[in-house]
Structures are given as structure tokens and as C-alpha cells.
Chains A and B, each alone.
Chain A
Amino acid sequence: MSTIEKLREVILKMKKKNITAADLKPEARFLQDLSFDSQDQTEMLVLAEEAFGITVDFQEVKNMTNIAAAVEYIDKKMGK
């Protein structure tokens, strides 16, 4: 499974209202398109830690704006 597919699974587990897999395109922005607040973003990243076996440095993800950036960060942490 690709990183983005797995990340979609993680986000759908958060059961945010009105979010479907189709909304989770690479260019989807957390704040504007997905209505994520900072706690939602933190929740997603901690769940991603478990799903991908990584440890997120939360200083490094302060300016993460969209799904593509999250995928890129996760891939980097996984050494891809």
C-alpha cells in the first residue's frame, strides 16, 4: 500500500465529519479544505506514527499545509 493510501486510512479513522477518501487528494489543505484544527493535525500525525512506525518531530511539521507535504514527511522519516 502506498504512503498516501495508508495515510487516507489513518485520516478516515479519525471520523471527521464529511471527509471521504475522495477528499484526501495530495493537494488537499488541512486547514482550508479539510477543516482540520491544530489538534486534528496532531491526532493525525500521532496515528501516523503508529501506522508507519515513525516518530514525528513536531517542531518539523509546524508548517505542514497539505496531504502531499504529510506524505513527503512520512516517506522521509521512513527513509524512502
Chain B
Amino acid sequence: MAPTYAGDKIHARIAGLGIYVPDNILTSAELAGRLGVSEEWITSRVNIHERHIAVGQSTSDLGAAAAQRAMADAGISPSDVNLLIVATETPDRLVPSTACIIQDRLGLVNAAAFDLNAACSGFVYALTVGSQFIASGACQNVLVVGAEVLSPFADWSDEQTCILFGDGAGAAVLQPAGPESGILAWNLGADGSGKDILTILAGGSQMPITHQAIDEKLHLAKMNGQEVFIFAMRKVPAVTEQTLAAVGLSIENVDLFVPHQANSHIIEAITRRLGLAPEKVMMNLERYGNVAAASIPIALHEARETGRIKPGDIVVLVGFGAGLTWGAVVLRW
């Protein structure tokens, strides 16, 4: 069974948050026009009204801007950061990591830096990995970034998938906290037998980019939406309950549930299954689309900015996506 853990003596808390999204907005009305469908066709399917699309900016540009804001929010300087983890499925380059590019951009001279690819679960994975460096006492400031420029990997002629994606970044600074607050429990898991459910086939060592691969659009994201829905429904509620139970909590104790912003149908179905009141569920995908590893920090940041989280609240973050991967963290804010 995939690990659930709640034994850290030193908890990691989120000491700062920051987000960055490109200025350029693509509305569903405009996208509908390009695809030859109605705006309502898009919004009734996914409840996404607009998404930000990067123009001339890469994942590191978005991630660095979000990271800078998170550091300012936490009141730390670049030299304070001991570790930078960038969760992304759309790195600037295959080599080196986007984390190294951001490390250079921000002058994180004292930080180790690496990328982590767990797709839409990436931010929860990275937060968990970072928390373990805090728990061990090895690091005092871990910078966790979820950043994506998905737009170049969307098939803009496939109305089933391109309506979903957006570009953006969110970042969090982790610092040590007392035993009562911060990340109380986590769960990470994977099921690689679902590797073909959501994938970009070409561009890696298995299928290098060729003219033929491009002609067949194999360098773009392919998704089986129904399989993703089945996986999310089977996994997310169970993982949420399991992670809460690890610290003696149940769904009634949750003040805010922040799921990966995949699409509104998935989130609503999960919410119903968990028996959560809609006001306890953070949803903002109507303005950002599905931003993969960036969706949870963008939603969490908005929740904090709009007063939906107060100190002492139990907050649950749950990611799920390609891999297949999933992850949950239970935090006391």
C-alpha cells in the first residue's frame, strides 16, 4: 500500500505563498469561436470561462515570478533558501532542470535544486518531499514551486482536451513549525499501469521527436477523460479519508478542501462522495483552467487572500493526475 505518514517530530508549515499567471487571457468565448463550438458547449462541460496563456514566456519565467512573491511573503531573502523543488510536467528543457534555471534567475546561491514530475499531483508531491527535509532538520527554508506552460502541449484542434488547459505558477515557502501546526500527515501514491491514460508520447527517449511524430501530433497531450474521472472518483475520496484518519481526523474536521482543479464535474462528484459542503471546497478553475502542478497553490493562495483560511484551520490539499499519481496533505494552518 502507498505510504501514509503522520510521524514527523518537526512539522513543515507554509510560511509564504505567491502566484504568477501570464497577462494574456483566452476566454472560452474566443476559444469557442476558433473551435467552431458555442461558449456554452465549453462552460457546461468544464465550467472554465477563461485561462491565462503564456506568450513568449516559459515555465521558469512563471515559476520564478511566483517564487519571488512567495519569498517576499515569507520575509526571506534568496540566500536563505536551502532547497528548491520545482513540480512541473512542462519543463523549459529536458536538461537541465527548470529548478536550476529558476535557481540562477533568483540567485538562490545556497540552494540545492531539482525538478519533480508527478504531473497534476506534483505540488503535493513536492510539498511532501520538501516537508521531509524540514522534518529531518536539514533545511530551514524550502521553496516549492508548481509551474506549468501547458499551452504548447495542447492540441488546439482537439476540443475534448484543449478547452481544459491553462498556464500559471504558484509557490510556497516551507519552514519548521511547532508540533500542532503545519503538515500533519501526507499520503503519496502511484499506479503506473495507467501511464497511457494521460500522456505526451513523443519528445523523450522512448519516442524522440521526428517529423512523423509531429505530423501525428504525438508531441501533444492525449487524454482519456473517462478513465481520469473513474480514477479520480475511486482514489481521491479514499486517500483524503485515509490521510485524515492518520491524525485522528475525519471529513467533519475539514475547514477547507483544496483539490487539484481538474474540471468542475470531477471536483463536484468527489465533494458529494465525501459529503463536504460546497463552501468548504475551493474552486477557481473557472478563471484559470487546469494548470496541472500549479493549480493547487493558485487555489490555496486565493483561499488565503479571500479570507477562507484562518489560523488553526484544517486544510486538505489533494492532487491527482497523470502517472497515474495521487497525493494528499493535511495541514493545520
Q: Is residue A18 contacting chain B, with contact meaning CB distance below 8 A?
A: no
A1-22 interface with B by 8 A CB criterion: 13-15
User: A14 — which chain B residues lie within 8 A by C-beta?
Assistant: 269, 272
User: A38 — which chain B residues lie within 8 A by C-beta?
Assistant: 226
User: B230 — which chain A residues lie within 8 A by C-beta?
Assistant: 42, 46, 58
User: B272 — which chain A residues lie within 8 A by C-beta?
Assistant: 13-15, 43
Residue of A nearest to B226 (CB): A42
User: A47 — which chain B residues lie within 8 A by C-beta?
Assistant: 233, 273
Smallest CB separation, B262 vs chain A (Å): 12
Other-chain residue from A39, A49, A58 in contact with B269 (beta carbon distance below 8 A): A39
Query: How many A-B contacts are there with CB distance less than 8 Å?
Result: 26
Residue of A nearest to B227 (CB): A58
Most buried by B among A13, A14, A43: A43
Inter-chain contact A58/B273, CB cutoff 8 Å: no
Q: Is residue B153 contacting chain A, with contact meaning CB distance below 8 A?
A: no
Residue of B nearest to A55 (CB): B234
Inter-chain contact A49/B234, CB cutoff 8 Å: yes
Number of A interface residues in the complex (CB < 8 A): 11
User: A13 — which chain B residues lie within 8 A by C-beta?
Assistant: 272-273
CA distance A58 to B265 in the complex (A): 18
Inter-chain contact A39/B234, CB cutoff 8 Å: no
B194-228 interface with A by 8 A CB criterion: 226
Q: Is residue B229 contacting chain A, with contact meaning CB distance below 8 A?
A: yes
Main secondary structure of the interface of A (DSSP, over half): helix
Inter-chain contact A58/B226, CB cutoff 8 Å: yes
User: B265 — which chain A residues lie within 8 A by C-beta?
Assistant: 39
Per-residue interface assignment for chain A, residues 44 to 63, with 1 indicating a CB less than 8 Å from any chain B CB and 0 otherwise: 00110100000000100000
CA distance A15 to B268 in the complex (A): 11
User: A46 — which chain B residues lie within 8 A by C-beta?
Assistant: 230, 233-234
Inter-chain contact B233/A43, CB cutoff 8 Å: yes
CA distance A78 to B226 in the complex (A): 24
User: A49 — which chain B residues lie within 8 A by C-beta?
Assistant: 234
Residue of A nearest to B235 (CB): A46
CA distance A42 to B234 in the complex (A): 11
CA distance A62 to B249 in the complex (A): 38
Smallest CB separation, A21 vs chain B (Å): 17
User: A15 — which chain B residues lie within 8 A by C-beta?
Assistant: 272
Inter-chain contact A43/B269, CB cutoff 8 Å: yes
Smallest CB separation, B102 vs chain A (Å): 37
User: A43 — which chain B residues lie within 8 A by C-beta?
Assistant: 229, 233, 269, 272
User: B269 — which chain A residues lie within 8 A by C-beta?
Assistant: 14, 39, 43
CA distance A47 to B234 in the complex (A): 8
Q: Can you list 23 A-B contacts (CB < 8 A)?
A: A13-B272, A14-B269, A14-B272, A38-B226, A39-B229, A39-B265, A39-B269, A42-B226, A42-B229, A42-B230, A42-B233, A43-B229, A43-B233, A43-B269, A43-B272, A46-B230, A46-B233, A46-B234, A47-B233, A47-B273, A49-B234, A58-B226, A58-B230
Ordered nearest first, which 10 A-B pairs have the shortest CB separation? A46-B233, A43-B269, A39-B265, A42-B229, A46-B234, A42-B230, A15-B272, A46-B230, A39-B229, A14-B272
B→A interface (CB under 8 Å):
226, 229-230, 233-234, 265, 269, 272-273
